[in-house]
Structure formats: C-alpha cells, structure tokens
Chain A
Amino acid sequence: MNQGLLSVTSAFSRVWLRNAQVYLTLWKFNIFPALAEPILFIFVFGIGIGSYIDQMEGVPYLEFVAPGILGIAAIMQATFECTYGSYFRMRMQNTFEGIISTPVSAAEVGMAEIAWGATRGLVTSTLVLVILAFLGVFHNPSVLLLPVITLLAAFNFAAIAIIVTSRIAQMEYFHFYFAGFVLPAQFLCGTFFPISRFPEPVQVIAWIIPLTSFVDIMRSLTLARITPSLIPETVWALGSTIILTELAVRSMQRRLVE
C-alpha cells in the first residue's frame, strides 16, 4: 500500500467539503469567538502597551506587532481545529472510521483535516487583516501577499496538531501540547518583539519553530523591507510544512488503519 503524501489523491477534498458544509451551518458560532483573541491582542498590545512604546524597529508598535497578531490568529485557529476538533471527530464521533470505509484513505482524511484547519486559519486571519487595515496599519501593496503566508503558517501548525492528535491516547494530553508548545510559540516567535533580545540558545529554538519565519516574512511584506534572511526563512517555512504534512499524514494512517 502506498504511504504518505504521495498516496493522497484529490479525494481528500470530499472530506474537506464535509467539514466546510458543517462549518457553514454553524458559522455564527465559529467566526466571532475566533476573533476575540486577536481583537484583544490588538487592543492590549497594539493600542494599550503600544501607547507607552514610541517605536519598535523604527515603526509604530502596532505596525510592528500586526504580523505577529496575524500569525497567531492563523496558527491558533488551525491548532484548535486540528486538536480538539479533529480529535472529537476521530474519537468521540467515529466520523473518520465511517469515511475510511469508503474509497477515501486514512492519509486523505489526515490531509483533509490539515487543509481544513488551514482554511479556518486563513478565514480568521483574513478577518483580522481587514480589521488591521481599517486601523491604518498597512502602507504597502505587498500586504496583499499576506494571506498566502497566513495560509501556509496555518497549514504548518495544522500539520503539527494532527501529528499530536493522531498519537495521543486521551484528550488530556492536549494540555501538555498547549502549555508546552503552543503558548510559548505565540510569544517566543518574534511576534511581540524581536527575538534578538533573547539569549542565543533561545533564539535557536525560536528559529526552529516555523512561526518565527512566517512572522518575519510577513513583517518584511508589511514594512516592505527585503533582506537576505528571507531566503532561508522561506526555505524553512516551505520545507518544514512539507515535512510536517508528510509526518502527519503517515501518523494518521498508522492511527486509523491498525
């Protein structure tokens, strides 16, 4: 039997459509709560703390944190969807078992869940983008490329979440995942201040977490600053996404087909 990403066909979109269909019937419950955290961040950090900070890296603070807030919105939405959401569908509802009794494969279910988590990340972060645009944060046409990066960031974190979800024996393990990885990642990855402030080892860890690269790429788009570091960042952003997706898909296969 073919394994991993290479075995995934377009049949995964049928599962993506299933999730989209369910989401659309409940969209009011899904969209607004998801915006609460990013809006809070805009007020607390951008406007609240920002009023005490003159400038960071030569721009008003809200302009500096905007890419961080966008990145966090994207990865958090994808993470919630592919941890609790996917786990619920997999274990409580046995939905995946029903799906893989059809020509759709376990690898495709994994791919569909990641793609769906990424989609939700894109939707939420795009709404945050619109709010930020209204606040007059953006000045460069290159911000139009931001949704591409938020989608990729969401995809990356959806894949990590699926790796966790497909390996844990009970939902309580998510506490460790959130406390040990997701929460630190939100603050360590150059979202609210440059990571050059950290001691060297912490910087290395921060660069390994792909969110750092995503946020930095977004920041160069919003501030229209093109630097050579964009090349390794882009390579790591894309490369880690592919590797993590491959691992997630295989992990889901192992979990669902014993």
Chain B
Amino acid sequence: MIVEAKSLHKRFHDVVAVESLDLAVERGSCYGLVGPNGAGKTTTMRMIYCLNRPTSGRLSVFGLDVLKEPRRIKARLGVVPQDNNLDPDLSTCRNLEVYARYFGIGRADAATRCHELLDFMQLRDRADSPIPALSGGMKRRLVIARALVNNPELLILDEPTTGLDPQVRHLIWDRLLDLKEQGITLMLTTHYMEEAQKLCDRVLIMDHARAVAEGSPTELIREHVSPYVLELRAGRTLNAHITSRFGHMEHRSSGQNLYFYGGSPDEFDDLLAAYSQMERLLRPSSLEDVFLKLTGRDLRL
C-alpha cells in the first residue's frame, strides 16, 4: 500500500477535523476523497504530505511513518494544494527551477525538467511570464507541473480543477490519466462527482470528519442507489399530486424537483405516460446521487 491510515484522528484545538479514518491506497491507482465543505478532506491530505501532524492513529506513506520520516516521504511526493501557492517573486520557469532545487535537483537537470513540464502542461509560451500575469487555469497547470518536478511516485491533488473552464478541466484529466498510465499513484479530492467517477478507481466519501462509504464508483452506485433515476421538474404543487399517485415508487423531492428511483428504465413507463408533457430526464444513477443520498442536501454552515 502506498498510503495506509488506521483510526486516524486530527483535532485542531476543539475542532475535530478527521475522526477514526481508515484508508488504503494501492500503488498505481487513483484514489478520490469527496465530501461536503469542511468534511476533512484537506486535513487528511495535509497529514499525508506531512504538513499537519495526526493527533492519534497511524498513518504511513510508502511504508514510512509520517511523524518520523517526513523528509523521506516528501522527497517522493508531488503536492497540488487546494490554494495555489506559486512563488509570485519568480517567473513561471523560475518557479519550477527553484522548486527543483528544494528537492536537491541540480541546475542543468532542473532546466531540462522545467521545459519538459511546461510542454506537458501546455505552458511553453508562458515560460517567462510573471505569476500574476497568468490566468487561473494557467496557474493551476503550473502548480501541477511544479508537483511533478521531482518525478513523484505519488501525486496528491487537492481540488485540482475547482473553478476552471471545461477545456482546462479536460486537459488536466487527460494529463492525470497519462500520469496514471506511467504508474504514478494519484490521490485527489474533488467536489465534482463526474471527475471522481471518471478518474478514480476508488472513492471515499467523507462527512463530518468521518468516512461514510468507500468503494469503486460502480460499487458505490450499486450498493447505495437504484440503477436508474427519473428527474421531474414539476413545481411544488404538481409534486404533491405526482407523489400521491406514484408514492409507492422510491422517490425523493427537493425544491422544484422530484426524483424517482428504479431498477430498470421500464419501471418508469406508467409515470412517464401519465406526465408526458413534463420536463424530465431519465438517466442511469451516478456518483452524485450516492453523494447526495449519503451526505444529505443540507448546506454545511
């Protein structure tokens, strides 16, 4: 196992950020952490890259204890933090070169690596740009490039694509899959279930500092929700009418929307026939349905 946690706890003064967490990440896999704001994803990641110290429990990375061997662990890691922390005093290429030096990489190797990585993340034209002149998507790509400067065995990405346009998001997804193909282990957090479903072999859903479910996206869908969902946008008054007629089917209402769940598409035939005029969408269940079912629809305040 590349990362292994056993009843991991983290407290900040009186805030419990992570509680009784177990997880195991296999070499070469992509492991996703999802959960509402404040669930403890970032804290978990920061413990793995040795910036937060576990309060109790065991956490090992590459078989090394995070409390005893942070330097050896960090030498083999790449880190993309939730908030970009590029060095604004240095240009794009210098950011990579100076970062390479922190790993003890020599000047010549750093220069070569810098050019390879700028090409890989499609930033070649920006080599000399100052950091404030980069767009959000470019900064994010540069942080990812920087995380690769030491050829890491494990790449940790905390919300790699939050706030980015679809083009950049797809570019990043493609690159992450390239890296996975090269055998690099990936760990990421995300608020986009589509992203988790697309990239991750296993997903851990966290809520209120604890793990609520774990498994491959297909397993999670199979275990926690019916295979098909019919979404109806009827409006509140009609909703009541529909549920009085079809209340025997598994359903949930949320604001203007009604969701019906079924084992196969034909289970919805009667319902669809009865409300043929209505705005509706029949689709296979997704990780998002699992997420909402397990973590509820309430906002985290």
Contact = CB atoms under 8 A, between A and B. Distances in A.
Interface of A: 1, 11, 14-15, 17-18, 21-22, 93-95, 97-105, 256-258
Nearest to A92: B88
A18 to B, nearest CB: 5
Contacts of A104: 102
B170 interface: no
B6 interface: no
Contacts, number: 71
B90 interface: yes
Contacts of B102: 11, 14-15, 99, 102-104
Nearest to B102: A102
Interface residues of B, number: 32
Contacts of A102: 74-75, 99, 102-103, 150
A103 B85 contact: no
B85 A98 contact: yes
Contacts of B53: 257-258
Contact of B71 (A95, A105, A258): A105
Given A98-B86, A98-B87, A102-B99, A258 B74 contact: no
Given A102-B102, A258-B53, A18 B74 contact: no
**What is the predominant secondary structure among interface residues of chain B facing chain A?**
loop
A256 B86 CA distance: 17
Contact of A103 (B71, B81, B86, B90): B71
Contacts of B67: 1
B98 A18 contact: yes
Interface stretch (B44-52, B161-169, B189-197): B44-52
A15 B98 CA distance: 9
B191 to A, nearest CB: 21
B199 interface: no
B101 interface: yes
B101 A17 contact: yes
A17 B77 CA distance: 23
29 contacts: A11-B104, A14-B101, A14-B102, A17-B98, A17-B101, A18-B87, A18-B98, A21-B98, A22-B89, A22-B90, A94-B83, A94-B85, A97-B51, A97-B81, A98-B86, A101-B51, A102-B74, A102-B75, A102-B99, A103-B71, A103-B72, A103-B74, A103-B75, A104-B102, A256-B51, A257-B50, A257-B53, A258-B12, A258-B51
Given A100-B51, A105-B70, A95 B103 contact: no
B68 A1 contact: yes
Nearest to B97: A21
